[in-house]
Each structure stands twice: as C-alpha cells, then as structure tokens.
Amino acid sequence: MNILVTGGAGYIGSHTCVALLDAGHKIVVADNLYNSSVDTIYNIEKISNKKVIFYQTDVTDEEKVDAIFKNHRLNGVIHFAGYKAVGESVSKPHEYYYNNLIATLVISRACIKHGVKKLLFSSSATVYGDNKAPFVETMELKPSINPYGETKSMCERILTDISRAGLGLSVSFLRYFNPIGAHESGIIGEAPNGIPNNLLPYILQVASGKQKYLSIFGNDYPTVDGTGIRDYVHVMDVAEGHIAALKHLSRGVNIYNLGTGKGVSVLQLVKTFEEVNNIKIPYKIMARRPGDVAESYAGVAKAKDELGFSAKRDIKQMCRDAWRFELYRCSAADAKSI
C-alpha cells in the first residue's frame, strides 16, 4: 500500500516509517520539522535502503495537504502530526487545541475528498483520565487532566462522528502508553529540540553530560517507591503495532492500546538504565508536575486477540537501544563540528 505518514520525521513516526518500508509498503511523509530534523528522513532511507517522498509541510494547511493527496494515489494515512508534551500543553493550551484539532480535521477531510478509506490516528493513554489502571479500550473516557490529553479525546470524538456519518472512512485509534528506546541500528531515536519533556531523553542528556542531573517530579505518589508508574514500551514494538492495525483495519471505528501491560516506576527505569549501560544517573526530587497521574499501564488483551500484536522487547533493551542512539547522535554532532 501507499501510505501517507504525517509527522513521519518525528519519534514514533520515523520508526513506523521504517516498519512500513520493511513490510513492503511505500510511504509519503509530511512533516513541518517543528520538533524534528530532515536528517531523520535521510536516516530512514539509510536503514531501509529505500527512497522516501518527503514534504516539509504543516498539515494544518489545507491547501498544501490537498496537493499531497492529489499528487499521490494513497491507500491510507497514519496521522502522527501534533504537539505532544503534557507539561507544555498546560502552559500553552491554545496552541495545542488549535494545532492538534485543525490538523486532524484537515487530514480527515482530505481522506474523504480523495477517497482514502483507511486512517490510523495516533492517540494516547492520557484519554483515560483518572480511570484506574489497567486501562482497557471499553472504559468510558473521563476528562483528561491536561490539554494534550483533551486534544486526543476530542480528535477521537471528531473521527468517530466522521466515521459514523457514512462517508466511507474507517479509523483506528492507537492509544500509546510510553514509547521509549530507539531502532536497534542506533541511527534513529528520540531527539527532541531543546530540553526534553519526556523521561528517557532527559536521562540520556544526563548520561551524555548535557544536563547535570535528572529532575524527578514527585516521589510521594501511592506507588512502590513514590515515583510515577508508566507502561514503557519499545518504540519499534509500537511501530509494529501500526503495521498490525493497518493490516487488520476493519470498517467503522477500532480502538487498541499499544503497551506492554506492565508498569515501571521512574526510579526503576533509572536503575535499569544505570545497570545495562554502566552509567550513574544523578537525580533530584522536584515537586509534582501539573497534569501527571500516579499510575498508567495498558490492558493489552484486545490488541493481542484482534491484531495478533504483543510487545516483545523488554525494558533492558529499551535502555540499551536508547543509549546506542544517543552515542550515535553525539558522534554525528562531533563530526559536523570538525
């Protein structure tokens, strides 16, 4: 199939591009490079040894998106493009609502206009709100405690209504938990611009000497060690989950969690990283961060039963692969400075 990947130069998008190419699909990538680099496109091509058609385009621009659909006979769309930092969404709610909702409206309208019948939407476990873990797809969604999560919930509602309107568009919502790690080649991984908002990229910056210490936001949660518990899943498992969802996309609305079904605390992740990479990570305990919840992990039975998908890479591999990418990234930066 010929698949448009919006946000394909981003973290999860780039790894999914590799998985799509490995599975024999052709891809077109649209990304405005807001929080990514064109180098990622070159690295996707390097890993896959296949050409990527790339548009540096903001998918809130309906005219430019329409041109992409006109230029390519697309069989489906995987929509990643959107702002994604929980903390930042609390301080910049207007930007998050505008960007994430408009992009989804533009993409879904283009799908209908050009007869593209398959749409996978990059959603999030944050849509479950303060439900009790494990989160399962049949739960009634509660209000999210941050604007980022609300944008994902609203996009799901929008796409649900569009799918039910008899316009020929079938959608799958893939609710991610906490993707971490990197491609085993070490060539692509999570490389946010500026100070990271997510845990493992922050750990990597401490490990490589870019930051003096890791800030851990809260150690008074009702968890095993007081730090927040998350379902960390290898980004290549998440990528492969998209391939399974695309293959098994049925008519109407489909919802799947992509996670491991196991919770790991912040301190447990730090200790695992230290163990597998033989690096000490200094940290300081800070106040709780607005918008965070104590515990979040997936119920994974539905994805296993309907898609045949189960995450197979463990937390140690996630930490090893992430550090391999950070070393590659640092060496590439050093080479450019010579």
Per-residue pLDDT tens digits for 62-103? 999 999 999 999 999 999 999 988 778 889 999 999 999 999
Residues of the chain predicted below pLDDT 70: 193-194, 291, 332-338
- Quickly tell me which residue has 């391999």 as its tokens: 324
HSE, CB side, 13 Å, CA atoms: give it for residue 110: 30
pLDDT in tens, 166-221: 999 999 999 999 999 999 999 999 987 667 778 999 999 999 998 999 999 999 99
Helix (H, G, I), strand (E, B) or coil at 28: strand
* Predicted pLDDT at 118: 97
* Predicted pLDDT at 338: 45
Comparing CA positions, the residue from 1, 60, 58, 62 lying closest to residue 28 is 1
C-alpha to C-alpha distance for 308 and 306, rounded to whole angstroms: 6
User: Domains along the chain?
Assistant: 2-182+232-259+297-312 (3.40.50.720)
Cite the active site residues.
Answer: 148
Residue 82 · residue 99 · CB < 8 Å: yes
* Predicted pLDDT at 335: 52
CA angle 223, 292, 153 (to 5 degrees): 125
Q: Note the helical H segments in the chain.
A: 11-22, 39-48, 62-71, 86-91, 93-113, 147-164, 199-207, 235-247, 266-277, 301-302, 315-337
